[in-house]
Amino acid sequence: MRWVAVIWLLLSAGPAAATQDAWPALFDVAGVAADDVLNIRAAPRADAPILGTLAPDATGVEVVAPNGRETWGQVNTGEGTGWVSLRFLARQPGQWQGAFPPLASCFGTEPFWTVRVDGDTARWSTPEGEIEGLVTARAGSLSRRDRHGLRVALADGSRIDGIIGWRACNDGMSDRAYGLSFDALHRDDVLSGCCTLAR
C-alpha cells in the first residue's frame, strides 16, 4: 500500500514540475477599468511612488521577474525598472520553464547590434545597416531547461549561432533589467548581450 502512495505522489508531482512558470514572461493587463490605468511603482508596494502607467488594454507587457511572493512583477519603464501588481496582469499561454521564449529581439552595445525576430523572419541591424534573415533553428538544451539555441541565416550568406540563457542581464547603457542573456558567433565575432520579449 505504501508503494501505491509513493507512485501516486511521484506521478502527481511530474506535471507540476513540467509546467513551472518561466520568467521573464509576457502578460496582458486585466481587471483594470476602461477609464483607469495600472500604476508602475518604484517598489513592490501599493504606497510606493508612481513611475509610470500601463493602459487598461495593454498587451505584451514583459515582466522580467516577480517579487518573492509573486504578488508584484518587475517591468521596464523609461531608462529604469518599476513594479506592477500581478493581480492585474494575465500571463499569456505557453510560457513554462523549458519552452522556447517568445523572443522579440536580442541586442548588444559597444559595438551596437540587434537581432529582431518575428516568427521565422529575422533582421540583423548595426549602425552600418540592416540585413534580412531567416530563423533556421530553435533548440532546447539536452540537459538544461535554462538554455536555448537560436540560429539565424542572413541574406549575405553569414549566420548567427546564439545561446539564450535564462539569467539576469543588463544592457550596460541604462538601469533597465532583462531576464535573458545572449551569446553568439557571427562571422569571426563573439556577440554578448541581452534579449527581450517586448515588441
- In the predicted model, is pLDDT for residue 1 greater than 90? no
Determine the pLDDT at residue 25.
98
Q: What is the extent of the structural domain holding 189?
A: 105-196
- Tell me if 132 sits within 8 A of 140, measured CB to CB: no
Global pTM reads 0.88
Going by pLDDT thresholds of 50, 70 and 90, the confidence category of residue 100 is: very high
* Number of structural domains the chain divides into: 2
Q: For residue 56, what is the domain's CATH number?
A: 2.30.30.40
Which residues are CB-contacts of 31 (< 8 A; sequence separation ≥ 6)? 87, 88
Q: Are both 115 and 191 inside the same structural domain?
A: yes
What is the pLDDT of the chain when averaged over all its residues? Answer: 92
- In the predicted model, is pLDDT for residue 4 greater than 50? no
Domain boundary among 69, 91, 113: 91
Residue 2 lies in a domain: no
Going by pLDDT thresholds of 50, 70 and 90, the confidence category of residue 110 is: confident
